[in-house]
């Protein structure tokens, strides 16, 4: 038996150990972790969902920042993305000015925000516009890329060691300074290395030295990584040889820059990418050819595997999304979500039609999402924010740690109206996420909707198919989402006029789920059975989350009421706040009393427990 003083010493030891672990977690740098093909960004020791907004290209100057922070706060973000300009930090070779960087970090802390800093170095949107004047004025020492006609273009050559060395030294100095200023507070979560890198104006560098190298053999390490047979660039890559050659040299260049930075501060590094869009997506880039339709050499969807082999110091590559083509966007989410690359959306259009893609990305395990151009320096009117994105972040912000943790465990599924129609279903295994990511997702989702669901008159052993019977016996549930309101008995869901409906369903336990979203109602049923047959809602708590008491701690659930009756029999409803705002405006115009905003908001989240009988 343990004597009292022994128990006391044991309790103190546990307490001190727990405190030490918590302190260690809080002091640890942000990092990426992976398990079963899924990823999480750990901040203060626990998964963190980046609810981001990128400020304008020219807004990261101290006198502009008072117009930046209020816009980010109004957007309900937890993380701001801001550029660091090579031309500003190194106005003369080897002489550095950290005024802008310090203003960003200090301002973010004052406004309780994290930062992702964007290195505008050699490349920004396929050009070299942010390199210092002393680089621009000395093309003999810092060579430019040469096009097929033998003329220089507005890009530094990725094949010139002097260019890489200058960028590498500047980026290493930047990371050294961030380590000194932010090494323990971790305001800066990640670094973007360059911005939409590549060349506009030529498929590759056609300088004499590059031409000689292009005529030679593809490097052995790349041949092995891609599983190819040895050969020249043309023999291996055929019609894509010029772009592949450029991508290899560019990726190696950026990898060297990143490698130098990681030696100073090892936090997650990523590259964003200007995608190769289908013809017509970007009218000003109407020819879908490398160097014309998109920057040649960047990690676009056709060069992703090459880049992953060439740039191991880049932790992830994230697609910038500026397309309304739902099928294309979802295909890009699939492409950039792979066992060796977490999905991360560093830049997306700020229009309301892009907001449902946030939920789609969550369903693919995304680490975060960041609309572009959010500040009040002129791009947006003062006081305005992208409405639908702000709605998303207001909804998910209070529970972002909870959602990030569930997503890392593979427990989250999402529904967006624009992708699957007004009535959609997905199946949850009793222990969703236990298997490796993606192993059985297709078969699970395919079995739903392909069978006639049984009513109360059909014996349960005859309901559905063998597949649904096996799923039901294993404790699976089917979540159904119907979009649009009003939803009338006996009628199909109407859908919404803007097709912006989006819903998240996350499994908390075998029969327990967390629900949230906009513009839809959530129902559950057993596989093979209609809603309400041989199942019941044991409880449905409407409520909200509040932050934990320490950085990184789990959020705390607060129940506001228990839903029942009409509030559950017709699905758990999440109305569209923009539709209610319009209705309220009409009501105000008519002179009728307008209810307070809280009364019009609808539920932020619902935790529901299901039962079988």
Both tokens of 413, joined, read: 């599924």
Tokens at 255, concatenated: 């990898």
Q: Nearest to residue 85, comparing CAs of 117, 130, 115?
A: 130
Longest Cα separation, the chain: 88
- Could you report the per-residue pLDDT of 328-340, keeping only the tens digit for each? 999 999 999 999 9
Do residues 339 and 37 touch, judged by C-beta distance below 8 A?
yes
- With 0-12 / 13-18 / 19 or more C-beta atoms within 10 angstroms meaning exposed / middle / buried, residue 586 is exposed
Cα distance between residue 520 and residue 99, in whole Å: 47
Q: Are strands 46-47 and 412-416 parallel, antiparallel or unpaired?
A: unpaired
What mean pLDDT do residues 443-457 have?
Answer: 59
pLDDT of residue 580: 52
pLDDT for residue 394 is more than 50: yes
In this predicted structure, the answer to whether residue 24 has a pLDDT above a threshold of 50 is no
Both tokens assigned to 254:
């950026």
| Number of other residues whose CB lies within 10 A of the CB of residue 161 | 12
- Determine contact, residues 271/317, Cβ cutoff 8 Å: yes
The whole-number pLDDT of residue 282 equals 58
Residue 212 confidence (pLDDT): 98
Q: What is the pLDDT of residue 285?
A: 56
- What would the DSSP string read from start to end of 206-270? -SHHHHHHHTSBPPHHHHHHHTPPS-BHHHHHGGGHHHHHHHHHHHHHHHHHHHHHHHH----EE
Cβ proximity of 528 and 465 under 8 Å:
yes
DSSP reduced 3-state for 545: strand
In this prediction, residue 585 has a pLDDT band, given cuts at 50, 70 and 90, of: very low
- How does the average pLDDT of the chain come out, rounded? 90
pLDDT at site 460: 80
Q: Which residues of 498-516 are buried (b: 16+ CB within 10 A; e: fewer)?
A: bbbbbbbbbbeeebebbbb
Q: What share of the chain is helix, strand, coil (3-state, %, to 5)?
A: 35, 25, 40
Task: Please tell me the predicted confidence (pLDDT) of residue 472.
Answer: 93
User: If you average pLDDT over residues 9-31, what whole number do you get?
Assistant: 50
Distance between CA atoms of residues 29 and 227, nearest Å: 35
Taking alpha carbons only, the member of 350, 354, 307, 306 closest to residue 330 is: 354
Give the separation between CA 579 and CA 584, rounded to whole angstroms.
Answer: 9
pLDDT over threshold 50, residue 582: no
> Three-state SS for 344?
coil
User: Is 559's pLDDT higher than 80?
Assistant: yes
Asked if residue 590 has pLDDT above 90, the reply is no
CA–CA distance, 119 with 110 (Å, rounded to integer): 23
Q: Is the pLDDT of residue 445 over 60?
A: no
**24-38, 245-259, 581-595: segment of lowest average pLDDT:** 581-595
Render the burial of 207-225: b for 16+ CB within 10 Å, e for the rest.
beebeebbeeebeeebbee
Residues of the chain above pLDDT 90, percent: 80
Least confident of 153-167, 182-196, 460-474: 460-474
* Averaged pLDDT, 232-251: 98
Which residues share a beta bridge with 129? none
| Mean per-residue pLDDT, 530-551 | 95
Q: Which of 334, 375, 372 is closest to 354 using CA atoms? A: 372
Residue 461 is classified by DSSP as: G
Provide the pLDDT confidence category of residue 382 given band limits of 50, 70 and 90. Answer: confident
Poorest-pLDDT segment among 35-39, 378-382, 473-477, 566-570: 378-382
| Distance (Å, whole) CA 405 – CA 339 | 18
Contacts of 495 (CB under 8 A, 6+ apart): 417, 421, 422, 483, 484, 501
C-beta atoms surrounding 358 within 10 Å? 26
Per residue in 274-317, pLDDT (tens digit) is 999 887 665 555 566 899 889 999 999 999 999 999 999 999 99
The C-alpha torsion from 308 through 309 and 312 to 318, rounded to 10°, is -10
Angle at 436 (CA atoms; ends 431, 441), nearest 5 degrees: 70
Contact (Cβ atoms closer than 8 angstroms) between residue 170 and residue 84: no
Which pLDDT score, from 0 to 100, does residue 589 have?
Answer: 37
- pLDDT of 400 > 90? The answer is yes
Position 286 scores a pLDDT of 55
- The reported pLDDT for the residue numbered 574 is 97
Domains of the chain by start residue, with CATH:
47-400 (3.20.20.80), 417-612 (2.60.220.20)
Note the pLDDT of residue 599: 38
For residue 547, give the 3-state DSSP assignment: coil
Task: Supply 523's token pair.
Answer: 């129902």
pLDDT of residue 461: 79
Distances (CA, A) of 300 to 197, 320, 381, 496: 10, 10, 33, 34
pLDDT of residue 7: 34
What is the mean predicted confidence (pLDDT) over 252-276? Answer: 98
Q: Predicted confidence band at 154 (pLDDT cuts at 50, 70, 90)? A: very high
Q: Radius of gyration over alpha carbons of the chain, in Å?
A: 26
* Mean of pLDDT values over 20-36: 72
* Span 218-234, average pLDDT: 98
Report the pLDDT value the prediction gives residue 283, as an integer from 0 to 100: 58
Asked if residue 453 has pLDDT above 90, the reply is no
More confident residue, 18 or 350: 350
The residues pairing with 296 across neighbouring beta strands, listed in sequence order, are 199
Cβ burial, residue 566 (10 Å; 0-12/13-18/19+): exposed
DSSP letter at 248 equals: H
> What pLDDT does residue 583 have?
42
- DSSP, collapsed to helix, strand or coil, labels residue 406 as helix
Which DSSP helix (H) or strand (E) runs through 278? Answer: none
Q: Is the pLDDT of residue 10 over 60?
A: no
Average pLDDT over residues 521-539: 96
Q: Who has greater pLDDT, 322 or 287?
A: 322
Please state the separation of Cα 29 from the chain's center in Å. 20
């Amino acid at each position: 038996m343990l004597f009292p003083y022994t128990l006391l010493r044991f309790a103190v030891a546990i307490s001190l150990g727990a405190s030490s672990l918590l302190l260690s977690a809080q002091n640890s740098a942000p990092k990426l972790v992976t398990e079963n093909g899924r990823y999480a960004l750990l901040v203060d020791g626990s998964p963190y969902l980046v609810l981001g907004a990128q400020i304008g290209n020219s807004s990261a100057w101290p006198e502009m920042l008072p117009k930046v922070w209020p816009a980010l706060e109004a957007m309900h973000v937890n993380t701001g993305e801001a550029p660091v300009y090579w031309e500003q930090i190194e106005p003369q070779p080897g002489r550095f000015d950290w005024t802008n960087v310090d203003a960003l970090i200090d301002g973010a802390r004052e406004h309780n925000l994290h930062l992702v800093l964007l290195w505008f170095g050699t490349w920004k949107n396929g050009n070299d516009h942010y390199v210092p004047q002393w680089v621009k004025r000395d093309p003999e020492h810092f060579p430019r890329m040469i096009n097929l006609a033998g003329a220089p273009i507005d890009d530094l050559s990725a094949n010139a060691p002097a260019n890489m060395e200058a960028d590498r030294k500047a980026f290493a100095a930047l990371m050294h300074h961030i380590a000194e200023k932010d090494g323990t507070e971790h305001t800066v979560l990640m670094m973007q290395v360059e911005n939409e890198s590549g060349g506009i104006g030529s498929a590759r560098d056609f300088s004499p030295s590059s031409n000689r190298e292009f005529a030679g053999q593809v490097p052995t390490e790349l041949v092995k990584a891609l599983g190819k047979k040895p050969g020249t660039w043309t023999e291996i890559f055929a019609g894509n040889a010029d772009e592949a050659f450029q991508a290899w040299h560019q990726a190696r260049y950026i990898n060297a820059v990143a490698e130098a930075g990681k030696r100073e501060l090892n936090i997650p590094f990523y590259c964003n990418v200007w995608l190769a869009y289908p013809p017509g997506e970007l009218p000003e880039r109407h020819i879908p050819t490398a160097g014309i339709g998109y920057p040649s050499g960047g990690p676009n969807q056709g060069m992703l595997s090459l880049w992953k082999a060439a740039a191991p110091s880049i932790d992830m590559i994230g697609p910038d999304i500026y397309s309304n083509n739902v099928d294309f966007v979802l295909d890009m989410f699939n492409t950039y979500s792979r066992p060796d690359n977490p999905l991360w959306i560093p830049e997306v259009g700020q229009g309301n039609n892009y907001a449902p893609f946030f939920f789609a990305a969550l369903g693919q395990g995304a680490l975060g999402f960041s609309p572009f151009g959010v500040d009040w320096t002129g791009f947006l009117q003062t006081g305005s924010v992208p409405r639908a994105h702000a709605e998303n972040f207001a909804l998910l912000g209070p529970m972002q740690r909870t959602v990030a943790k569930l997503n890392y465990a593979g427990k989250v599924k999402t529904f967006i109206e624009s992708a699957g129609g007004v009535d959609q279903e997905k199946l949850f295994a009793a222990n969703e996420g236990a298997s490796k990511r993606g192993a059985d997702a297709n078969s699970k989702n395919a079995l739903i909707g392909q069978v006639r669901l049984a009513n109360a008159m059909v014996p349960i052993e005859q309901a559905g198919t063998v597949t649904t019977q096996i799923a039901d016996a294993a404790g699976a549930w089917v979540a159904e989402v119907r979009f649009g309101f009003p939803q009338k008995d006996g009628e199909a869901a109407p859908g919404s006029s803007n097709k912006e409906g989006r819903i998240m369903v996350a499994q908390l336990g075998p029969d327990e789920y967390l629900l949230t979203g906009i513009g839809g109602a959530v129902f559950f049923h057993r596989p093979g059975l209609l809603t309400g047959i041989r199942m019941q809602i044991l409880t449905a708590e409407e409520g909200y989350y509040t932050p934990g008491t320490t950085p990184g701690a789990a959020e705390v659930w607060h129940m506001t009421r228990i839903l029942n009756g009409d509030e559950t029999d017709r699905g758990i409803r999440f109305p569209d706040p923009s539709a209610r705002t319009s209705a309220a405006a009409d009501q105000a115009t008519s002179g009728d009393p307008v209810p307070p905003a809280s009364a019009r908001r609808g539920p932020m989240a619902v935790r529901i427990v299901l039962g079988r009988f």
